[in-house]
């Protein structure tokens, strides 16, 4: 009998003394005794109340927007108004009312607070991450396990709850991911998840079987596609070398006209100067969505950046171990220029010893022959160092102390980490040696290389002026006036038409050294130093971006000013001989300026896709104009000359002129060389 009463609205003790359930309690017909009404919007003002359904409760509901904080409410007076931040127009349920929109709580029966921090999703009374954001719970004071248990508790709507009704530890700081699309946060976990293909701190790096195209992770193609791409690249390089050797062989010793090779090199320098800057801007510009066909365009832009050190990114598809972080990239960056400079010296010394020992050339011609070899080797060094200069500078800059970004992990800024801006998985804690070496190579290479070129160019320019003055003293007044007029015509109107319809025009004959022609041929005589200014432009436009990124407003201001300054300088002084090349350079500088403006301003979501497409097409326009006319001209040139003649000429091209000197003289004296 006592057992029956014990489950029917009574509470019986061990002596079988039974009393009805008092107000605030009830019997659920499943467990013996009386149970208190749960915390939340419930009370019971009657006695001996029994649940109508086995296992359910027999409590009344408080009015809308009220609840009983500690449970066991025995009258409506125990129902108090729900705390601040809650929706007081709804039933409280098993909590202190639901939170308002964009409010969250850390106590099921406590107040709700406004979610002011960017990146928070507070739609279900607790804090989670929105896509595009990330946080880390690996800090003292934060407890991801307890927070997960609290959220599991908060998601339940029942009266029998465990003890995890609140979270009393701290929350980590939320960070916006550099590329929002990489932080998906789409699997329902609290800690956040990266999108497919991404991994690491703030989902910055790529997973295995993925490679980076301007900081966008793209799935590696199949092995067959990789082999085809590699072979195609090698064939293109060989064809370019064949054409250049043929042109050099045909033009050897002739400096009285501006050849097609001179014009092609000038166009390529404009193309390199443009994409070496644009590549760095796009690498740090995370608002462009490189998806679909745009990935192919992004790959071209990344390749045209001519960052030799980053050509190792694609081989990661062959082997995951071929991943180069900024530390290894820095070592390569300082090693490659040294190798470029040392290798010709070693080669020259070995070749000289070999020739002397074999007595392959007369003693009287030995010095002159080796002078020619020395000039060619020096040209190779200058050209290679010129091409890799911006990429080497970027690799050095990214290991400056200022290139580290500090992330404060808690609201009180007590805990923080420092990561390299170029690779957020690399800590800055043990980079002291790299920082010191970066400063050393800044002086030796970043400053030393253009300064040395400027000094040598100045010496050549001074020698030329002295030579011209001596020559003019021997001329009469009429000859001097005629010389000045020709000189003025060559400077002001050397080329007014595109390459496709360009004829060779007379130019100054004084510059005969190949490396001087490479640096100065496309500039007017008074602007012999302008290529050094171009090197400065490439480095200065990317220096601040590499160090501080676009989020720094001073970087945005200075980078914009630098773009405007160089655009104005080119428009004001027009340093190039060819007006057509001057127009191409102005176009490239204008497009760079537009890139900087777009990167410096936040693109609204509604305009993000069209702006991305227009911006990319605008950048590809420079490539289409230059490569289109160069390819057409090369094809016509090869068609007119004949492929067999080109191959025979290339086969006869030799860096060591003494090797075929005798056969060459026989061909000259023979009435029929064939």
Instruction: Return the closest-CA partner of residue 96 out of 106, 84, 82, 112.
Output: 82
CB atoms within 10 A of CB 567: 17
Q: What is the pLDDT of residue 74?
A: 92
Cα separation, 383 vs 154, whole angstroms: 67
Task: Assess whether pLDDT exceeds 70 at residue 185.
Answer: yes
SS3 state of residue 673: coil
Q: What is the pLDDT of residue 624?
A: 83
Instruction: Return the closest-CA partner of residue 494 out of 252, 266, 254.
Output: 266
Q: What is the pLDDT of residue 299?
A: 52
Q: Whole-angstrom distance between the N-terminal and C-terminal Cα of the chain?
A: 128
For CA atoms 630, 634, 635, 636, give the dihedral sign: positive
Task: Assess whether pLDDT exceeds 80 at residue 105.
Answer: yes
Choose between 616 and 75: higher pLDDT: 75
Residue 594 near residue 618 (C-beta atoms within 8 A): yes
Q: How far is CA 330 from CA 215, 336, 391, 393, 659, in A?
A: 19, 10, 10, 10, 40
Supply the DSSP symbol for 431: -
Q: What is the pLDDT of residues 329-388, one digit of tens each?
A: 899 899 999 999 999 899 888 888 887 777 655 555 667 777 778 888 888 888 889 888
Supply the DSSP symbol for 253: T
Q: What is the pLDDT of residues 458-496, one digit of tens each?
A: 988 888 777 666 665 665 555 545 555 545 444 444 444
Quote the pTM value. 0.74
> For the chain, what's the residue count?
674
Task: Assess whether pLDDT exceeds 50 at residue 284.
Answer: yes
Helices and strands (H and E) in the chain: how many: 17, 21
Domain ranges of the chain: 1-98, 115-203, 216-653
Residue 316 near residue 234 (C-beta atoms within 8 A): no
Q: How far is CA 193 from CA 176, 180, 196, 416, 419, in A?
A: 13, 12, 9, 21, 20
Average pLDDT of 178-195?
88
Cα separation, 302 vs 276, whole angstroms: 9
CA 589 to mean position of chain CA atoms: 20
Q: What average pLDDT does the structure give for the chain?
A: 79
Q: What is the pLDDT of residues 296-319, one digit of tens each?
A: 455 555 555 545 444 444 667 777
Average pLDDT of 167-181?
90
CA 415 to mean position of chain CA atoms: 28
Task: Assess whether pLDDT exceeds 90 at residue 243.
Answer: no
Task: Assess whether pLDDT exceeds 90 at residue 104.
Answer: yes
Q: What is the pLDDT of residue 264?
A: 77
Max mean pLDDT among 254-258, 339-343, 647-651 falls in 339-343
Residue 120 near residue 127 (C-beta atoms within 8 A): yes
Task: Assess whether pLDDT exceeds 90 at residue 87.
Answer: yes
Q: Find the radius of gyration of the CA atoms of the chain.
A: 38
Token code pair at residue 489: 């015509």
Cα separation, 260 vs 588, whole angstroms: 22
């Amino acid at each position: 009998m006592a057992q029956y009463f014990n489950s029917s609205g009574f509470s019986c003790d061990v002596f079988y003394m039974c009393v009805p359930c008092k107000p605030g309690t009830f019997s659920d017909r499943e467990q013996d005794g009386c149970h208190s009404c749960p915390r939340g919007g419930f009370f019971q003002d009657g006695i001996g109340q029994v649940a109508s359904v086995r296992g359910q409760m027999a409590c009344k509901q408080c009015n809308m927007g009220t609840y009983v904080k500690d449970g066991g409410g025995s009258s409506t007076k125990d129902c108090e108004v729900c705390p601040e931040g809650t929706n007081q127009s709804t039933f409280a349920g098993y909590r202190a009312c639901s939170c308002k929109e964009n409010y969250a709580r850390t106590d099921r029966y406590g107040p709700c607070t406004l979610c002011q921090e960017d990146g928070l999703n507070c739609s279900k009374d607790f804090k989670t991450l929105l896509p595009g954001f990330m946080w880390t719970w690996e800090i003292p004071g934060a407890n991801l396990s307890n927070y997960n248990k609290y959220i599991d508790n908060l998601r339940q709507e029942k009266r029998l709850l465990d003890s995890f009704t609140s979270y009393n530890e701290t929350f980590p700081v939320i960070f916006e991911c550099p590329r929002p699309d990489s932080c998906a946060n789409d699997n329902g976990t609290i800690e956040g998840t990266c999108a497919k293909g991404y991994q690491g701190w703030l989902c910055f790096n790529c997973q295995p079987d993925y490679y980076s195209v301007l900081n966008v992770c793209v799935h590696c193609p199949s092995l067959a596609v990789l082999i085809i791409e590699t072979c195609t690249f090698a064939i293109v390089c060989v064809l370019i070398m064949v054409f250049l050797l043929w042109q050099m062989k045909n033009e050897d010793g002739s400096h009285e006209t501006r050849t097609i090779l001179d014009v092609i090199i000038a166009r390529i320098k404009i193309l390199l100067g443009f994409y070496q800057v644009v590549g760095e801007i796009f690498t740090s510009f995370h608002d462009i969505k490189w998806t679909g066909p745009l990935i192919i365009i992004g790959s071209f832009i990344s390749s045209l950046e001519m960052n030799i050190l980053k050509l190792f990114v694609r081989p990661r598809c062959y082997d995951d171990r071929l991943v180069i972080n900024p530390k290894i990239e820095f070592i390569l960056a300082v090693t490659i220029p040294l190798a470029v400079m040392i290798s010709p010296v070693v080669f020259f010394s070995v070749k000289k010893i070999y020739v002397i020992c074999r007595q392959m050339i007369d003693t009287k011609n030995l010095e002159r022959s080796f002078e020619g070899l020395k000039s060619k080797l020096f040209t190779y060094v200058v050209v290679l160092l010129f091409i890799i200069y911006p990429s080497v500078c970027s690799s050095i800059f990214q290991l400056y102390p200022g290139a580290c970004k500090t992330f404060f992990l808690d609201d009180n800024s007590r805990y923080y980490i420092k990561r390299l801006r170029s690779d957020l998985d690399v800590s800055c804690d043990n980079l002291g040696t790299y920082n010191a070496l970066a400063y050393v190579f800044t002086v030796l290479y970043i400053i030393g290389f253009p300064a040395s070129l400027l000094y040598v160019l100045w010496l050549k320019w001074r020698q030329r002026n002295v030579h011209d003055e001596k020559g003019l003293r021997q001329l009469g007044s009429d000859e001097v006036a005629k010389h000045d007029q020709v000189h003025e015509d060559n400077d002001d109107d050397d080329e007014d038409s595109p390459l496709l319809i360009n004829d060779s025009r007379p130019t100054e004959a004084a510059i005969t050294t190949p490396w001087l022609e490479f640096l100065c041929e496309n500039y007017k005589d008074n602007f012999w130093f302008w290529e050094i200014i171009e090197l400065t432009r490439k480095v200065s436009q990317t220096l601040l971006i590499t160090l501080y990124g676009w989020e720094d407003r001073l970087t945005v201001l200075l980078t914009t000013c630098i773009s405007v300054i160089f655009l104005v300088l080119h428009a004001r002084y027009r340093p190039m001989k060819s007006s057509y090349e001057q127009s191409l350079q102005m176009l490239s500088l204008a497009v760079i300026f537009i890139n900087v403006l777009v990167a410096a301003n936040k693109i609204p979501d509604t305009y993000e896709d069209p702006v991305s497409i227009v911006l990319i097409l605008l950048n590809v326009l420079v490539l289409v104009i230059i490569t289109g006319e160069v390819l057409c001209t090369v094809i016509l040139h090869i068609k007119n000359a004949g492929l067999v003649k080109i191959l025979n000429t290339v086969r006869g091209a030799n860096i060591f002129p003494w090797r075929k000197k005798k056969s060459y003289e026989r061909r000259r004296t023979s009435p029929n060389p064939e």
